[in-house]
Chains A and B, each alone.
Chain A
Amino acid sequence: MRVFGIFEVSASALEAQRQRMNVIASNMANVHSTRTEEGGPYRRKDVVFSALPLTADPGVLEGVKVVDIAADSTPLRTVYDPGHPDADKDGNVSMPNVNVLEEMVNMMMAYRAYEASVSAFSMSKTMFLKTLELGR
């Protein structure tokens, strides 16, 4: 078993949750973006997590990694706004399928998971330092 494997697990979780936070921030920033480089309104993105085994023995140490940042395929919101430059003939505008409330909840969940991994990390550190005191 790798000596610092436990720290790798926590670090991978911190990185994954931070990436998730970035995606959530992008979603919230683009809640009204009707134009994107790919064309059309912005579609909300979601991170996809996958467990990443770090030991040959399965299930003992498993980190986490972001395997994909997928676009949400739920339908776009249609808003009646004839004055908008991207409005169609009937005055309807397609708005991004971002729900701010949903993003807020996701953000809180990511934050909690991040916090838990930070405390896991510091607890591992305490245990390691305690081991170094052995025999003193």
Chain B
Amino acid sequence: MGNGFQILERLLQATKIRHGVIVSNIANADTPDYKAKDVKFEQLLTGEIMNLRRTSPRHIAAYEAGPSGSVTAETTNHWEDRNNVELDMEVAKMTENSLLYQAAIHLLSTNMRMFKNALRRQT
């Protein structure tokens, strides 16, 4: 029953951390030596969600990865001040991430409403 909630909770946590990372990148768009960072989402999510049984050894294993280990600095080429933040890219990423967050909130609300409905019909 609670699996949907768990998935969405993970998704909310992940998008929240990613939002913080992107906002930090935007804040440091002009800081010398600063390197843009990002959260590797797939790692973060497959850790706990993909608890699937593998019928073939060639299937990809769902590996564990904590949120702390997933913030990585980007190593793309940089500006004169050794900073590699691209402001437009960061704003685009932020919008995309925010939509994902809002979608998760929406789904979580829908999930809750479904359970509420189910409880109400019982009497």
Of B20, B28, B68, the contact of A49 (CB 8 Å cutoff): B28
A77 to nearest B CB, angstroms?
A: 24
Main secondary structure on chain B at its contact with chain A? Answer: helix
Q: Which residues of B contact A5 (CB under 8 A)?
A: 20
A58 to nearest B CB, angstroms?
A: 8
Q: Which residues of B contact A16 (CB under 8 A)?
A: 27
| Residues from 1 to 26 in A contacting B, C-beta threshold 8 Å | 1, 5-6, 9-10, 12-13, 16-17, 20
Q: How many A-B residue pairs have CB under 8 A?
A: 104
A120 touches B26 (CB 8 A): yes
Produce 1/0 per residue, B83-123, CB < 8 A to A: 00001001100110010011001001100100000000000
Q: Report the bound CA distance from A23 to B34 in whole Å.
A: 22
Interface size class of B (residues with CB under 8 A): 20 to 34
Output the nearest chain A residue to B116 by Cβ-Cβ distance. A135
Interface residue? A101 (CB, 8 A): no
Interface residue? A108 (CB, 8 A): no
A13 touches B26 (CB 8 A): yes
Q: Which residues of B contact A13 (CB under 8 A)?
A: 26-28
Interface residue? B21 (CB, 8 A): yes
Q: Which residues of B contact A117 (CB under 8 A)?
A: 26-27
B27 touches A133 (CB 8 A): no
B31 touches A59 (CB 8 A): no
A50 touches B91 (CB 8 A): no
